[in-house]
Structure 1
Amino acid sequence: MTYISIPNPSLQVTKDHRLEIKDLPVEAPGPGEALVHIRATGICGSDVHFWKHGQIGELKVLGNCVLGHEACGEVIKVGEGVTNVSVGDRVAIEPQNACGECFLCLQGDYNLCQEVDFLSVYPCHGTMQRLRVTKAKNLFPIPDNMSFEEGALVEPLSVAYHGVENAQLQLGRGAMICGAGPIGLATLVLANASGAAPLVISDLSADRLAFAKKLIPRVQTYQIDLSKTPQENAAGIRKLFGPKEADAPPKVLECTGIETSIITGAYVVRRSGTLMVIGVGREIINNFPFMHLSFGEVDVKFINRYHQSWPAVIRLIGEGVVDVKKFVTHRFPLEKADEAIILSSDPKNGSIKVIIEDNYKIL
C-alpha cells in the first residue's frame, strides 16, 4: 500500500555489481511499525564490499538491494500499537531485526539470531533511501543536542562498544588497538572513555594515525612496516608500553580483520591477556599462532555486531563523553549517493566517514 506520493530515491546494488539510483514505492506502517524519513546514513565498509564483491561470507547479493544501515531520521507516521515513538521524534535506527523466538534471542543474544533480517543485507533493503518502514522497537529517540549525523554514528560506535564491553577494559591498564579506520577510531574514543592507559593504535597509514592523534591526543601511534614480520612489528609496539613483560597490554582490540594484523595483535598482548577480534576478515585465517596463545593462556574473543547498545551509546554521545563529530569527513545528498560510495571506496580520498544526507521537507 502506498502511503505518500513523493519521490523516494534509493541507492541499490545489483547482482552484477552495479550501483543504481531508483525510486521505491512508500508503504504505510503496519502494527508495531513506523515510517521514518531517513535524514542521515553513514557508508560502511560492508556497503562497499557488497557492491564490489557481491557477498560477505555466506551473505550474498542475489538481486537488487538498497544499501545502508548506519542511519538516523524523523518519524513521520506510526502504525497501530506503537507507543515508544511518536510523529516528529528524531530517532537512531538499530538495523537488525531478530526473530525473537530462538534460544539466542530469548537469552538476550539476539545479534546471533540466525533468522535475523539486517538492513542492507539481501533481501532486506537498507537505509539509503528517503522513506523506510521499520520496526518501532528498533527506533531510539536522540536528544535535541545530537545531530542526525551523530545519530547515524550510533551504529559504528555500537560495534566498538560491544567489543570494548566484552574485552572488559580497565582503568589504568594498557590497551592496544589495531587499525585506525572508522571502527578502530570508534574503539579508540571508547577505550579513552573507559580510562584504559596507556593507549596505542597502529595502522599502515600515517594520515590515519595523525587523525587518531588529533582525536585522542594522549594515544601513542605505531605505523606498521610491511617489510617486517608480525613479530617484529609487535616488538616495536610493545616498546611503546614499556621495557618489561608486565608492561605489555593486557587487552588488544583488533579492528581490521586482516590476517597479519591479527597475528601482530596476538604477539602484542601479554600472557593472561585478551585478544578481542572486532574486525571482519576472510572466512579462513591461516598461520594463526595457536601455541603462542595457548602457552600464554590468552583469551581470544570475537564479536558479531552488537546488542542492547543503542541507549548506552546515545547517552555517551549526547552527554559529551565521546565526541564523534570529527569522524565525518565528507557529505553527499541522497541523489548523489552513488558518488558518495565511489569516493568512500578509494583510500586515496582520505575519507573516514562519508554521510549521505537528505533535507527534503516532509514534516
Structure 2
Amino acid sequence: MTIAHDLPNPSLQTNPEHTLELREQPIELPGPDEVLLRIRATGICGSDVHYWKHGQIGELKVRGNCILGHEAAGEVIELGSEVKNFEIGDRVAIEPQDACGKCFLCIQGDYNLCQEVDFLSVYPCHGTIQRYRVIKAKNLFKLPDNMTYEEGALCEPLSVAYHGIERAQLELGRGAMICGAGPIGLATLALANACGAAPLVISDLSADRLEFAKKLVPRVQTYQIDLKKSAEENAAGIRKLFGPREEDAPPKVLECTGTENSIITGAYVVRRSGTLMVIGVGRDIINNFPFMHLSFGEVDVKFINRYHQSWPAVIRLISDGIVDVKSFVSHRFPLEKAVEAITLSSDPTQSSIKVIIEDK
C-alpha cells in the first residue's frame, strides 16, 4: 500500500532564532527497512521547550530548522520493501533513537550512549510533531489493543524513569526519595511504588504538583521545597520524614529536575553508602557540588542518558495496569494548535503535567 505523498503534513518547527512555526513538511518515502507512520499522539517534553527557548542542551545545538517532538506513537500506513514484522494499520510506539549499531557502545548493549545516534527532534533529525514521519522498523513496538496512542507516546518518559530506577537498583522495603514532581518525577514515583520501595518521599516547589503526586501514590509523603532555606536545611526537613536515625535516611535518591539546588539537596538527603541517581537534565556546569560530603560518605553518584531496551517492559507495565500514565495528561491539543500547546507547556503558571498533541 502506498499513499499520495503530496498530502498536507503540518509540522511544528523551531530554529536558531528561537521562533516557532507551524509549516508544511514534505512526506518522505520509506526506505527498505522503514515504515511511514501517521503520527497520532506526541507528548511535549521539557527538552522541546529547551531547544525552542535556548537553542541547545549541552553540545546538542539547533543549527537550522528542526521539527520538535519525540514522545510519540502512530499508525503504520506504508511499509518499506524489506519490512516483514509489521502490517498496514498496526498501532505502534516509537523509540526515538537510532544508533549506529557498530561502535563498542552499541555492541555491548549501551546503544543509548552511541555518539553517532540520530535522535528525533535533535537537529538535524526532525521530530514527531508532524502528521507523517518515516521511522526505522526496528525502533517500533506494537501496542496491545488495550493501550491508546496517548499511552504509547508516554512510553518514552516512562522509559526515562525506568532506566533511572534500573541503574539506581531500588530495593523492596528500602527507602527512596524523589526530587521533583514533574512528568519524569511522577513516572519515577509510580515505578518506585511498583518496585516496593518504602518509605517514599517526593519533593517539589509546587504544592499543586505534590498534591497530584499524593493522588497518584497515596502512601507517598510530600515535602514542599522552601527557597528561603538552604539545600542542607531542606534536606534536613526531608530526612525527618524518613525517621529520626541516620540509618533511616534513604539509601536511594532519584533527582528528576536537573536543577543545581535540587541536586545539592538530594546530595544531603541520601545516606552514607547510598546512591544519588541524577535523572534530570540540567546545565553544563553545576557549582557548589558537595564533593567531600559525598566522598566521606562513599555515596555513588550516577547519571542516565535516555534509556535502552525498555519499550517492551514499559508497554507491559502500562498494559497490565501496573502504572497509570493516562493520569499524567493534563492538556490535549490538535496538531493544528501545536504552537499553543508548547506555549502552555512552557508556562509554569498553567500547572500542566503532560501536554499531548493529538492528530485523530
- Shorter-chain TM-score bucket reads over 0.9
Aligned to 1:46: 47
Aligned to 1:160: 161
Aligned to 2:185: 184
Aligned to 1:107: 108
Q: How does 1:1-363 map to 2 (within 5 A)?
A: 3-359=4-360
Consecutive unaligned residues of structure 2, counting only runs of 5 or more, are none
CA contact (8 A) 1:178 1:253 kept: yes
TM-score of the aligned structures, taking structure 2 as reference length: 0.98
- Residue 166 of structure 2 aligns to a residue in which SS? helix
Using the TM superposition, give the Cα deviation of residue 5 of structure 1 relative to its aligned residue in structure 2, in angstroms. 2.5
Identity of aligned residues (%): 80
- Residue 262 of structure 1 aligns to a residue in which SS? helix
Structure 1, residues 133-166: CA drift from partner, whole Å, max 9, x if none?
0100000001011011100000000000000011
CA contact (8 A) 2:3 2:78 kept: no
Superposed CA RMSD in Å reads 1.0
- Residue 315 of structure 1 aligns to a residue in which SS? helix
CA contact (8 A) 2:170 2:176 kept: yes
* Number of residue equivalences: 359
Structure 1, residues 310-350: CA drift from partner, whole Å, max 9, x if none?
00000000110111111000000001100100000001001
Structure 1 residues 91 and 2: alpha-carbon distance in aligned structure 2, compared to 1, 3 A threshold: closer
Consecutive unaligned residues of structure 1, counting only runs of 5 or more, are none
- Residue 189 of structure 2 aligns to a residue in which SS? helix
Q: Distance in 2 between matches of 1:229 and 1:4?
A: 57
Query: Given residue 260 of structure 1, which amino acid in structure 2 is its aligned partner?
Result: N
Structure 1 residues 2 and 24: alpha-carbon distance in aligned structure 2, compared to 1, 3 A threshold: farther
CA contact (8 A) 1:44 1:68 kept: yes
Q: Distance in 2 between matches of 1:24 and 1:197?
A: 49
Query: Given residue 74 of structure 1, which amino acid in structure 2 is its aligned partner?
Result: E
Q: Distance in 1 between matches of 2:7 and 2:110?
A: 38
Q: Distance in 1 between matches of 2:84 and 2:255?
A: 40
Q: Distance in 2 between matches of 1:63 and 1:3?
A: 28
CA contact (8 A) 1:3 1:27 kept: no
CA contact (8 A) 1:249 1:273 kept: yes
Using the TM superposition, give the Cα deviation of residue 4 of structure 1 relative to its aligned residue in structure 2, in angstroms. 2.4
CA contact (8 A) 1:14 1:20 kept: no
Structure 1, residues 103-157: CA drift from partner, whole Å, max 9, x if none?
0000000000000000000110000000000100000001011011100000000
Q: Distance in 1 between matches of 2:303 and 2:140?
A: 26
- Residue 135 of structure 2 aligns to a residue in which SS? strand
TM-score of the aligned structures, taking structure 1 as reference length: 0.98
CA contact (8 A) 1:74 1:90 kept: yes
Q: Distance in 1 between matches of 2:268 and 2:15?
A: 41
Q: Distance in 1 between matches of 2:118 and 2:280?
A: 21
Using the TM superposition, give the Cα deviation of residue 167 of structure 1 relative to its aligned residue in structure 2, in angstroms. 0.2
- Residue 260 of structure 1 aligns to a residue in which SS? helix
Moved over 4 A (4+): none
Q: Distance in 2 between matches of 1:167 and 1:84?
A: 34
- Residue 75 of structure 1 aligns to a residue in which SS? strand
Query: Given residue 250 of structure 2, which amino acid in structure 1 is its aligned partner?
Result: P
Using the TM superposition, give the Cα deviation of residue 3 of structure 1 relative to its aligned residue in structure 2, in angstroms. 4.8
CA contact (8 A) 2:176 2:199 kept: yes
Q: Distance in 1 between matches of 2:247 and 2:74?
A: 47
